[in-house]
Chain A
Amino acid sequence: MREQVLAIIEKNSRINIKELAVILGAEEIDIANELKAMEEEGIICGYHTMIDWEKTSIEKVTALIEVRITPQRGQGYDKIAERIYKYPEVNSVYLISGGYDLLVTLEGKSLKSVSNFVSDKLSTLEGVLSTATHFILKKYKDHGTILTKKYEDTREKVTP
């Protein structure tokens, strides 16, 4: 049941327990217990909302930053990653295989605030060898959802 619950709430975290129970053919109490258990185990880490900020009047700039670092003895990459992810403006930090080490996504109010963060905070961290900053110009799809167009039902209204 876990897998099914997760598949549904990953797409729709607003669905309530009663509805979940109906569509999965399960008891409400079992669903509630399962959700609680998964929250406690840290499998469910939060219930966020996907927002297309582009469509609001609020200015936001998102950047992807490639960071090359020197791993530290005994702590590998974790120590530097921690120093980076503790900044609240940092959205995500991933350890990556390939040409660089950490992929950091960052959200700021303006290009300037993002570049300030990179030059003042990020690139001056001990162990950071270099950074490459990419600003996101347009989001086509995010979290599996296509942002550019809405679903439209173009089927004939009645068919055999």
Chain B
Amino acid sequence: MRNPLSDTIVGIKPSGIRKFFDIVSEMDDAISLGVGEPDFDTPWHIRDEGIYSLEKGRTFYTSNAGLKELKEEIVKYIQRTQEITYDAGHEVIVTVGGSEAIDIALRAMINPGEEVLIPQPSYVSYEPCAILAGAVPVIIELKEENEFRLTAKELLNAITDKTKVLILPFPNNPTGAIMEREDLEKIAEIIREKDIFVISDEIYAELTYKNKHVSIASLPGMQERCVLINGFSKAYAMTGWRLGYACAPRKIMEQMLKIHQFAIMCAPTTSQYAAVEALKNGDDDVAMMRESYNQRRRFLMHEFKEMGLACFEPYGAFYVFPCIREFGMTSEEFANRLLKEEKVAVVPGTAFGDCGEGFLRISYAYSLENLKVALDKIKAFIARLREEK
């Protein structure tokens, strides 16, 4: 029999997080701090709207780009948070999670051999999606000393004449890093000058704990070269609804829509009706969850300080990214031992890129009570490691 497989996909490594998941799921009593989704239930009024739409029999496809009402609410939301205006008719698409938006944006913009800049540590799908789109991924290794922000110098050093797109993943999973206005202004200048484009993954935009999130698309001359991606998963605790969106200039959006049309048809209808309610009446829920995450974030930072564990202060998402280099182990060794000896699951930083070596991703999408139990165990583990040395 001939080889039925594509060399491209065979050549892509499976997600590093999957391997760890398999080990953890075999341990029933493990406490996990490894989850990349909110612990809150979707607020009831949003769920209720989904149920209501089913009761009313709204069980058909929507138009390819999404419900008109939802697209209009998305435009209003971006207008009120970022003060940028998109045309709901031609510049907005509702997707199956932010993940689909990343995929179709890359496929709409890349010609074979063009380079995509991917800052790491970052979410696991950028590199594979870039490769599948025929791009050459170019990794920019972010540094802890810069609080894992992307600097102008790092960007400039990575750009060649083949560079087409920069993926900008802030607020960042797994580091919790953010990019503030001044940081963005510095890189925007280079982006304009070098005439490249940006796919800005802002799925954690609502979860920042310093200033309000600033989208790079809101800076002068940037909207026209930017695909802005966001969604409902993190802000409204709606991961299972699989709903995201992208806003982009009409020229790019037309091609994204073609891929979406043929590959997906439309995002889930029930989820779209629920999402309208989320954008209309969900601000208080978001504020409540943000405050709750912030309290947990402060608790973790405090505990790490007490333990003497090095960790830069993250101001976004719901992750902390402590450094474990002092123990002379790889991230994977550390995570494996912590799991075996204390039954606490954290994700090795290397799951998010090689430069995550020496770090762990710890999620605080857990109740304070849970975090306390887990942190006590980590404390005991670390004390033991230090004694061993």
**Given A22-B302, A23-B295, A25-B298, A159 and B37 touching (CB < 8 A)?**
yes
Q: Which of A42-50, A107-115, A149-157 contacts B (4 or more CB under 8 A)?
A: A149-157
Q: How far is the CA of A19 from the CA of B300 in the complex (A)?
A: 12
Q: Which residues of B contact A22 (CB under 8 A)?
A: 298-299, 302
B72 → chain A, closest Cβ, in Å?
31
Quick check: is B77 within 8 A (CB to CB) of the other chain? no
**Given A23-B295, A158-B21, A158-B347, A153 and B39 touching (CB < 8 A)?**
yes
Among B35, B124, B296, max chain A CB count under 10 A is at B35
Cβ A24 vs Cβ B17 within 8 A: no
Q: Which residues of A contact B124 (CB under 8 A)?
A: 160
Q: Which residues of A contact B125 (CB under 8 A)?
A: 160
Cβ B37 vs Cβ A4 within 8 A: no
Q: How far is the CA of A159 from the CA of B123 in the complex (A)?
A: 11
**Given A4-B291, A23-B368, A153-B39, A158 and B299 touching (CB < 8 A)?**
no
Quick check: is B36 within 8 A (CB to CB) of the other chain? yes
- Name the interface residues of B14-40: CB closer than 8 Å to any CB of A: 15, 17, 20-21, 24-25, 30, 32, 34-37, 39
Against A, the Cβ 8 Å flags (1 = close, 0 = not) of B2-21 are 00000000000001010011
Q: Which residues of B contact A8 (CB under 8 A)?
A: 295
**Given A22-B298, A22-B302, A25-B298, A160 and B39 touching (CB < 8 A)?**
no
Cβ B35 vs Cβ A157 within 8 A: yes
Contact of A156 among B35, B298, B368 (CB under 8 A): B35
Against A, the Cβ 8 Å flags (1 = close, 0 = not) of B334-361 are 0000000000010100010000000000
Cβ A159 vs Cβ B299 within 8 A: no
Cβ A24 vs Cβ B123 within 8 A: no
Q: Which residues of A contact B25 (CB under 8 A)?
A: 156-158
**Given A22-B302, A160-B15, A160-B123, A155 and B295 touching (CB < 8 A)?**
no
The chain A residue with its CB closest to the CB of B370 is A153
Q: How far is the CA of A94 from the CA of B191 in the complex (A)?
A: 64
A20 → chain B, closest Cβ, in Å?
9
Cβ A158 vs Cβ B298 within 8 A: no
B176 → chain A, closest Cβ, in Å?
15
Q: Which residues of B contact A160 (CB under 8 A)?
A: 15, 17, 36, 123-125, 173, 351
Against A, the Cβ 8 Å flags (1 = close, 0 = not) of B27-62 are 000101011110100000000000000000000000
Q: How far is the CA of A25 from the CA of B294 in the complex (A)?
A: 9
Contact of B35 among A7, A19, A25, A158 (CB under 8 A): A158
- Name the interface residues of B130-179: CB closer than 8 Å to any CB of A: 173
A51 → chain B, closest Cβ, in Å?
19
Q: Which residues of A contact B173 (CB under 8 A)?
A: 160
Q: How far is the CA of A142 from the CA of B174 in the complex (A)?
A: 38
B108 → chain A, closest Cβ, in Å?
23
**Given A157-B34, A159-B17, A160-B15, A23 and B24 touching (CB < 8 A)?**
no
Q: How far is the CA of A19 from the CA of B173 in the complex (A)?
A: 27
Cβ B20 vs Cβ A155 within 8 A: no
Q: How far is the CA of A158 from the CA of B18 in the complex (A)?
A: 8
Contact of B295 among A24, A156, A158 (CB under 8 A): A24
Q: How far is the CA of A23 from the CA of B39 in the complex (A)?
A: 18
Q: Which residues of B contact A153 (CB under 8 A)?
A: 39
Q: How far is the CA of A8 from the CA of B368 in the complex (A)?
A: 12
Q: Which residues of A contact B17 (CB under 8 A)?
A: 158-160
B277 → chain A, closest Cβ, in Å?
21
A148 → chain B, closest Cβ, in Å?
15
The chain A residue with its CB closest to the CB of B173 is A160
A interface residues, Cβ below 8 angstroms from B = 4, 7-8, 19, 22-25, 153, 155-160
Task: Give 9 A-B contacts (CB < 8 Å), ordered by A residue.
Answer: A156-B21, A156-B25, A157-B24, A157-B345, A158-B25, A158-B32, A158-B35, A159-B35, A160-B123
Closest 4 pairs between A and B when the two form their complex, measured CB to CB: A158-B34, A23-B295, A158-B21, A157-B32
